[in-house]
């Protein structure tokens, strides 16, 4: 009787209008093996129980990944937008949506571990609502009654829009509630929940009323991110919802740092952690490696990881091909690119171009609706990135269609909208000129206008948008530039702009159907209703196939949208001259490093991310040193006389054991005293090595004569003994070539 009553109650909970129960895929048990498709998402219920969406299957393990069984619901299909959530190994839900049926989602629910599923199709949004063109789905269930569904709208990385729905009766009904963006939500009670919002995920939000309203939650671990946009992760809470941790990624000009905060009172107050939390506090010691397409689990708090499930091997990525366009600052790129709201720094992008498949990055160069400040974006940075091998997608974010809710809109009147399009182009050209993307007269580049989705069934709105784009194109052509357009592929169909008297030279269209990088996507994988294959065929297409998600390459994690390109990019290789850079890979050490006596001599050696040796020295108190004092000297062979920017590489490292001293290493010093011996003198400059991880530390700009006369000295005497002192590579970058008319040194010149 009890089992029958639960079955009736479960049917009521998941909705009276549902179809008859349908069996899931046969309960096949799988050993640890490689499964078909990509491992898209997962969630761990505890240290031994986790589910994975992989290809066209939903898999579950209850023994720590030793074996897996399939529990796939009937409607689950590859390349549909989809998500899953479980509260235990028996009770779970999936949801999916198809791009050709806007505003409709299909729910499936099980109470017996996937042996049977109850399926329901439900319309949540009007088919012509721009929010109905779903880019990503996320699903969260707290218990059998309370669930939340986020429908994220496909937009450029400048925007983060979504529609959040809540059920309090197990899915019988859904109500739309407020959302600060389109990111996933996580709840600890029916009322208290969390999400990330703002440009670049720059803020953590909390709700105390189930999602009806949200407020920003200040965190001490993001307070130091002055002038930069931090990216927050969703908090992870233990059972009970009192203890939780949250991570914050902060990107600087010369690298990236991750900070952690913790709470013991359910998120009312937070404190900064000195080190990353144990791996078991983040998804119970499970993690998904998207690059390797594998699910990993740690048995020892993150010291080692082993693969417990692997997807298909990634196909070989075809090398990107860039053809420079003569007499312009543009090229045609066939390959992969990404866009992000806040451009990251030179060092992070160096690691990405060495490790990732991407060769183009967008630049939000301005506009009234540009959400991220892009404080690092200047002509000098673009020169550095060009030398690394990057090409660019200059993007302007101005007023949007008049039938939208954006705070800046162009006019319904086509005549006025046309003139507004010209005015936006004029401002964009000037911004591109200041950044060195154009010739001195403002010609020779490509600029894409970011036009977000709007109601394509509103004829007046469509005509206003067409007129605006026509004005944009005309003014760019008058100044001998290429005119690009970013828009949703189908809302309205981007083909609307092909019939303009002078259509855009290139289109960059959004239609999300992946969760992360996919080397198999091409610019032709789009519905012909939205964009026929006969239009923009001469390397004029860019396809944004997935929205905001974190990817990690070269040890750097960035929030990006992924794009396949066979289109026009800004290419500065023909105008940017090579930079004179001299790198001293390791210093001359005293005492000399010897493996057998290293510990007694106060040295520890390892190899950093660039492949250079790094030495850590046990410090002595400043002013109270006892010989011998460990020190290092970097002596470059400089090819020409001039002003050089001097930078020291500070490598990241974990705990270091000093067995001969019976201690574990201290953190790096915050009081490293560098002495730069340059033309006409020596300058002492003190720097904090503690927060830096695999980044170049700027020591300043100084005059040097050609040859080996100048050098940099660093010793292990510090004011914050017993912290360590790091010695690795030093680089000297020529800024101004020539003789000196007077004795000048320029410590710590900011770019």
User: What is the DSSP track for 536-564?
Assistant: STTT-EEEEEEEEEEEEETTEEEEEEEEE
Question: What is the model's pLDDT at position 192?
Answer: 96
pLDDT at 666 over 50: yes
Q: How many CB atoms lie within 10 A of CB 492?
A: 24
DSSP string, 274-321: SSPPPGGGTGGGEEEETTTTEEEE-SSTTS--EEEEE-PPPPPPPPPE
Angle between helices 459-478 and 414-434 (to 10 degrees): 40
| Contact criterion met (CB below 8 Å) for 79 and 513 | yes
| Contact criterion met (CB below 8 Å) for 726 and 579 | no
Q: How many CB atoms lie within 10 A of CB 30?
A: 14
pLDDT at 168 over 80: yes
Question: What is the model's pLDDT at position 514?
Answer: 84
| Contact criterion met (CB below 8 Å) for 309 and 294 | yes
Q: What is the CATH number of domain 581-737?
A: 2.60.120.260
Q: What letter does residue 269 receive in the DSSP assignment?
A: S
Question: What confidence tens digit (pLDDT) does each residue in 698-748 have?
Answer: 999 999 999 999 999 999 999 998 889 999 999 999 998 887 655 444 454
pLDDT level of residue 25 (50, 70, 90 thresholds) = low
| Contact criterion met (CB below 8 Å) for 619 and 669 | yes
Question: What confidence tens digit (pLDDT) does each residue in 234-253 have?
Answer: 999 988 889 999 999 887 66
Q: What letter does residue 510 receive in the DSSP assignment?
A: E
Q: How many CB atoms lie within 10 A of CB 111?
A: 22
CA distance 24 to 439: 62
pLDDT level of residue 40 (50, 70, 90 thresholds) = confident
SS3 label, residue 621: strand
CA distance 402 to 407: 10
SS3 label, residue 186: strand
| Contact criterion met (CB below 8 Å) for 719 and 671 | yes
Least confident range from 188-197, 269-278, 521-530, 702-711: namely 269-278
| Contact criterion met (CB below 8 Å) for 572 and 386 | yes
**Mean pLDDT of all residues in the chain?**
88
Buried b (16+ CB within 10 A) or exposed e, 172-194: eebeebebbbbbbbbbbeeebbb
pLDDT at 481 over 70: yes
Show the tokens assigned to 502. Answer: 């002078």
Give the Cα-Cα-Cα angle 166, 171, 176 (nearest 5 degrees). 25
SS3 label, residue 442: coil
Question: What confidence tens digit (pLDDT) does each residue in 509-557 have?
Answer: 999 988 889 898 999 999 899 999 999 999 999 999 999 888 999 888 8
Give the closest residue to 256 by CA, choosing from 264, 247, 265: 247
For tokens 């196939």, the residue is 545
Question: What is the model's pLDDT at position 664?
Answer: 76
For tokens 């004011």, the residue is 719
Question: What is the model's pLDDT at position 321?
Answer: 84
Give the closest residue to 529 by CA, choosing from 497, 502, 492: 492
Question: What is the model's pLDDT at position 440?
Answer: 95
In the sheet that holds 57-61, the strands lie side by side as 29-31, 67-70, 57-61, 50-54, 39-44
For domain 324-570, the question of CATH label 3.20.20.80 is answered with: yes
The pTM (predicted TM-score) of the whole model is 0.81
Question: What is the model's pLDDT at position 5?
Answer: 36
Question: What confidence tens digit (pLDDT) does each residue in 72-105 have?
Answer: 998 776 667 889 999 999 999 999 888 888 999 9
Question: What is the model's pLDDT at position 139?
Answer: 96
| Contact criterion met (CB below 8 Å) for 92 and 110 | yes
Question: What is the model's pLDDT at position 749?
Answer: 42
């Amino acid at each position: 009787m009890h089992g029958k009553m639960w079955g009736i109650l479960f049917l009521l909970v998941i909705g009276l209008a549902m179809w008859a129960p349908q069996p899931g895929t046969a309960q096949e048990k799988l050993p640890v093996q490689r499964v078909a498709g990509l491992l898209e998402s997962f969630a761990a219920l505890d240290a031994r129980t986790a589910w994975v969406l992989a290809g066209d299957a939903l898999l579950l393990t209850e023994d720590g990944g030793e074996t897996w069984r399939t529990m796939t619901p009937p409607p689950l299909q590859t390349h549909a937008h989809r998500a899953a959530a479980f509260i235990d190994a028996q009770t779970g839900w999936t949801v999916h949506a198809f791009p050709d049926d806007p505003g409709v989602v299909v729910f499936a629910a099980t109470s017996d571990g996937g042996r049977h599923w109850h399926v329901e199709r439900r319309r949540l949004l009007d088919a012509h609502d721009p929010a109905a063109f779903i880019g990503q789905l996320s699903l969260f269930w707290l218990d059998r009654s309370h669930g939340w569904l986020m429908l994220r709208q496909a937009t450029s990385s400048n925007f983060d829009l979504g529609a959040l729905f809540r059920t309090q009766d197990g899915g019988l009904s859904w109500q739309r509630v407020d959302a600060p963006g389109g990111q996933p939500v996580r709840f600890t009670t029916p009322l208290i929940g969390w999400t990330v919002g703002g440009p670049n995920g720059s803020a953590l939000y909390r709700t105390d009323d189930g999602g009806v309203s949200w407020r920003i939650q200040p965190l001490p671990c993001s307070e130091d991110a002055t002038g930069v946009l931090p990216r927050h992760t969703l908090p992870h809470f233990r059972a009970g919802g009192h203890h939780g941790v949250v991570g914050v990624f902060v990107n600087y000009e010369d690298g990236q740092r991750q900070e952690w905060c913790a709470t013991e009172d359910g998120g009312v107050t937070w404190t900064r952690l000195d080190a990353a939390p144990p791996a078991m506090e983040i998804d119970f010691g499970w993690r998904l490696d998207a690059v390797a397409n594998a699910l990993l689990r740690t048995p020892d708090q993150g010291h080692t990881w082993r693969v417990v499930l692997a997807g298909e091997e990634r196909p070989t990525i075809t090398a990107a091909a860039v053809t420079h366009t003569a007499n312009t600052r543009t090229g045609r790129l066939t390959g992969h690119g990404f866009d992000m709201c806040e451009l990251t720094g030179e060092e992070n992008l160096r690691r990405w171009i060495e490790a990732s498949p991407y060769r183009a990055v967008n630049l939000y160069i301005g506009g009234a609706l540009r959400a991220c400040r892009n404080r690092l974006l200047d002509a000098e940075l673009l020169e550095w990135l060009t030398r690394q091998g990057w090409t660019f997608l200059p993007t302007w974010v101005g007023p949007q269609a008049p039938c939208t809710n954006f705070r800046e809109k162009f006019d319904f009147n086509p005549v006025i909208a046309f003139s507004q399009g010209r005015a936006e182009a004029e401002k964009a050209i000037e911004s591109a000129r200041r950044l060195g993307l154009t010739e001195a007269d403002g010609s020779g580049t490509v600029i894409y206008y970011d036009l977000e989705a709007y109601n394509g069934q509103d004829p007046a709105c469509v005509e206003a948008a067409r007129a605006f784009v026509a004005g944009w194109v005309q003014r760019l052509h008058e100044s001998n530039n290429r005119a690009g357009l970013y828009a949703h592929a189908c809302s309205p169909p981007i083909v609307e702009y092909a019939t303009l008297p002078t259509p855009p030279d290139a289109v960059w269209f959004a239609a999300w159907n992946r969760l992360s990088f996919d080397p198999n996507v091409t610019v032709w994988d789009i519905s012909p209703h939205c964009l026929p294959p006969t239009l923009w065929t001469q390397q004029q297409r860019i396809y944004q196939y997935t929205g905001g998600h974190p990817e990690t390459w070269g040890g750097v994690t960035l929030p990006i949208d992924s794009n396949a390109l066979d289109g026009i990019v800004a290419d500065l290789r023909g105008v940017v001259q090579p930079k004179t850079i001299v790198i001293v890979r390791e210093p001359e050490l005293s005492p000399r490093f010897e493996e057998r006596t290293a510990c007694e001599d106060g040295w520890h050696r390892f190899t950093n991310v660039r492949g250079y040796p790094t030495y850590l020295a046990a410090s002595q108190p400043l002013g109270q040193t006892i010989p011998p004092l460990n020190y290092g000297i970097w002596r470059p062979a400089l090819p020409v006389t001039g002003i050089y920017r001097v930078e020291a590489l500070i490598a990241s490292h974990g705990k270091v054991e000093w067995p001969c001293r019976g201690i574990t290493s201290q953190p790096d010093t915050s009081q490293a005293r560098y002495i730069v011996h340059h033309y006409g003198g020596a300058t002492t400059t003190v720097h904090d090595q503690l927060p830096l991880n695999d980044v170049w530390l700027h020591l300043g700009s100084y005059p040097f004569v050609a040859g080996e006369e100048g050098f940099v000295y660093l010793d292990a005497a510090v004011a914050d003994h017993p912290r360590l002192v790091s010695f690795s590579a030093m680089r000297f970058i020529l800024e101004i070539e020539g003789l000196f008319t007077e004795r000048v040194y320029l410590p710590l010149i900011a770019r």
